[in-house]
Amino acid sequence: MKPIQVGLLGIGTVGGGTFTVLKRNQEEIQRRAGRGIAIAMVAARNVERARALVGNDAVVVDDPFQVVNHPQIEIVVEVIGGTTLAKDLVMQAIANGKHVVTANKALLAEHGNEVFAAAHAKGVMVAFEGAVAVSIPIIKALREGLSGNRIEWVAGIINGTTNFILTEMRDKGLSFDAALAQAQALGYAEADPSFDIEGFDAAHKATILAAIAFGVPVQFKRAHVEGITKLAAADIAYGFQLGYRIKLLGIAKRTAHGIELRVHPTLIPVKRLLANVEGSMNGIMVKSDAAGITMYYGAGAGSEQTASAVIADLVDVTRLHTADAAQRVPHLAFQPDAMSDLPILPMADVVTSYYLRLRVADQTGVLATVTGILADAGISIDAVLQREADEVGGAEANQTDLIILTHDCAEARMDAALARMQALATVLQPIVRIRKEELA
């Protein structure tokens, strides 16, 4: 049988890796797919460079619309990224009745509902394993492997750049800027690294994970997003003394009232496997009722690592493209007419435990006042650590750091208590609050 004809939009890091791995492993891939998979057309900004890479194997054009409109192309692989041109191309490919494979998390997190609705109406597949934690088949695990379960939560280190930065800061004592520069040099960071360090990349991925875990539409705008730029080295060190590591987690959790969807620095017990996912690696924990806790680990970025996911999608689409559309795995795991309207909860309703650091005057009664405010708010204390005042030294010799770990409470309750503590004359700096998850 003639190989299925693929059009590749973009032949940079991911597109180039896809071309190379598909060629290298073509025999095994064909044995799995039941048919050859051929990249027949490539759209590239730099046509000469693309031709040098693909040789005579594919036609290279500079207009990506030529690819999505070409009658011979059956699957379009979109790896150019972004949410403008990429969206137009994907929508056009779908309108033309072509299947789409994409690694574009921003596109799906922000416009996925529109994309999936169009694909459903047209009876085509949109496959996106490469959009989340590339080398880890987490989309397939959640959507198919765990389909007998009621999923309770998903918590993941799903941005390699920030995990690399946090690891370097802790292990080597590097400054934030030095660690970021290294991450960029190693090619982990997005073109605009603020996407990584401000948490948006992780939030795009968490949004997609929440949708397939709970069968809700993608709702990126409702995600709470906090990055790592305000983290102080002191908190990484205090957290460690208390048995925790700080990771940027993407969390999607089902509660009786709705879904928590949040990305923020999080203390997690050092004994959890997830706390030991280091450097640029990704790790995802899923808690479901029957399987219990499952854990997934692997590279979250990279040329061939992303190609691995893109090609797995190509194999799936090749196997299933002749199947009745109703028999295929639904895009968001649940049938489109069986989606849930569980709301995404506002942060005020999120329940979690906390690490607090207060720089206070080293005076009698300060600790009692602070703990009294927490008690008034009904917030239970788990542990208290007070730094020796003489460690602070110099002009700050009469100050000390008070570190408090709390048990679970609603964020609104904590916000109110923090406002009262911050107003005390003996609290000398803005209070640091970092959320904590036991992940038990």
Query: What are the C-alpha distances in Å from 185 to residues 181, 305, 397?
Result: 6, 18, 41
Distance, in Å, from the CA atom of 222 to the CA atom of 346, rounded to the nearest integer, reads 8
- 114 is a contact residue toward ligand HSE (CB under 6 A): no
Sheet of 4-9, strands arranged across: 59-61, 37-43, 4-9, 75-78, 99-102, 126-127
Name which position in 107, 151, 300, 354 contacts ligand HSE (CB under 6 A): 300
Which residue, 106 or 409, is less far from ligand HSE as judged by CB?
A: 106
Say if residues 371 and 381 touch (Cβ distance below 8 Å). yes
Residue 261 phi, psi dihedral angles, 5° rounding: -135, 105
Contacts of 320 (CB under 8 A, 6+ apart): 125, 327, 328
- 196 is a contact residue toward ligand HSE (CB under 6 A): yes
What is the nearest approach in angstroms of ligand HSE to the Cβ of residue 15?
A: 15
Which residue, 133 or 146, is less far from ligand HSE as judged by CB?
A: 133
The piece of 187-195, 246-254, 412-420, 421-429 that touches ligand HSE (CB under 6 A) is: 187-195
Which residue, 159 or 318, is less far from ligand HSE as judged by CB?
A: 159
Which residue, 188 or 214, is less far from ligand HSE as judged by CB?
A: 188
Residue 222's nearest CA partner among 200, 207, 205, 209 is 207
Say if residues 176 and 246 touch (Cβ distance below 8 Å). no
Residue 48 has a CB neighbour count (10 Å cut-off) of 8
Say if residues 248 and 227 touch (Cβ distance below 8 Å). yes
Which residue, 199 or 239, is less far from ligand HSE as judged by CB?
A: 199
Distance, in Å, from the CA atom of 192 to the CA atom of 132, rounded to the nearest integer, reads 18
Distance, in Å, from the CA atom of 269 to the CA atom of 220, rounded to the nearest integer, reads 28
Provide the strand spans (E) within 231-328: 244-254, 259-269, 281-288, 292-299
Q: Where are the alpha helices (DSSP H) in 273-410?
A: 303-320, 366-376, 389-392
- 188 is a contact residue toward ligand HSE (CB under 6 A): yes
- 198 is a contact residue toward ligand HSE (CB under 6 A): no
105 catalytic? Reply is no
- Choose, from 87, 205, 287, 436, the residue flagged as catalytic: 205
Strands 99-102 and 126-127: parallel
* The pair of three-digit structure tokens given for residue 69, joined into one six-digit string: 């409109």
What is the nearest approach in angstroms of ligand HSE to the Cβ of residue 102?
A: 13
Name which position in 106, 165, 189, 284 contacts ligand HSE (CB under 6 A): 189
- 168 is a contact residue toward ligand HSE (CB under 6 A): no
- 360 is a contact residue toward ligand HSE (CB under 6 A): no
Contacts of 337 (CB under 8 A, 6+ apart): none
* The pair of three-digit structure tokens given for residue 14, joined into one six-digit string: 């991911």
Name which position in 18, 104, 135, 161 contacts ligand HSE (CB under 6 A): 161
Distance, in Å, from the CA atom of 173 to the CA atom of 175, rounded to the nearest integer, reads 7
Name which position in 159, 266, 308, 352 contacts ligand HSE (CB under 6 A): 159
- 201 is a contact residue toward ligand HSE (CB under 6 A): yes
Which residue, 279 or 336, is less far from ligand HSE as judged by CB?
A: 279
What is the nearest approach in angstroms of ligand HSE to the Cβ of residue 159?
A: 4
Which residue, 201 or 437, is less far from ligand HSE as judged by CB?
A: 201
- 406 is a contact residue toward ligand HSE (CB under 6 A): no
- 301 is a contact residue toward ligand HSE (CB under 6 A): yes
Name which position in 7, 16, 112, 160 contacts ligand HSE (CB under 6 A): 160
Please give the single-letter amino acid code of residue 256.
A
What is the nearest approach in angstroms of ligand HSE to the Cβ of residue 106?
A: 10
- 298 is a contact residue toward ligand HSE (CB under 6 A): no
Which residue, 196 or 235, is less far from ligand HSE as judged by CB?
A: 196
Distance, in Å, from the CA atom of 355 to the CA atom of 433, rounded to the nearest integer, reads 6
The piece of 149-157, 158-166, 329-337, 382-390 that touches ligand HSE (CB under 6 A) is: 158-166
The piece of 154-162, 218-226, 229-237, 350-358 that touches ligand HSE (CB under 6 A) is: 154-162
- Which residues of this protein are in contact with ligand HSE, per CB under 6 A? 159-161, 188-190, 196, 201, 300-301
* Active site positions, annotated: 205
